[in-house]
Amino acid sequence: MGGEVVYRFPEDAPTYLSLHIGAAEIGLGLHPDPTRGPSQVSLWFYVDDVDALVARALAIGAVVTTAAEDQPWGERIARLVDPTGIEVIVAQIL
């Protein structure tokens, strides 16, 4: 893909990494529970306001699986499942 690894976690045996490809960034990771539901896909989006997005998503049928919470690495993150079963993770840089 021609990407550059810009983040990996954990460093020695990564289960998640971020790649810069051109002007875009893509994250790839292994889920700790591969039998978690109908979809094996998680989508991660950075947004300006996690709480506002969660409120809008709930209004159109999404289910919150993890409420918005500040993380020690400087992001606010919430996890939702859309009406088709796809996990959607939304993050806001604090």
d(CA 79, CA 90): 6
The band of 8, judged by pLDDT with boundaries at 50, 70 and 90, is: confident
In Å, how far are 9, 49, 50, 90 from 93, measured between CA atoms? 18, 9, 9, 10
Please tell me the predicted confidence (pLDDT) of residue 64.
Answer: 94
Fold of 4-93: 3.30.720
pTM for the predicted model, two decimal places: 0.67
Q: Residue 27's pLDDT band (boundaries 50, 70, 90)?
A: confident
| C-alpha torsion sign, points 46, 48, 50, 55 | negative
CA distance linking residue 77 with residue 24, whole number of Å: 20
- Tens of pLDDT along 34-79? 665 556 677 888 899 999 999 998 898 889 999 999 999 899 999 9
Average per-residue pLDDT for the chain = 83
Per the DSSP assignment, residues forming a β-bridge with 9 are 16
| DSSP-derived secondary structure letter, 40 | -
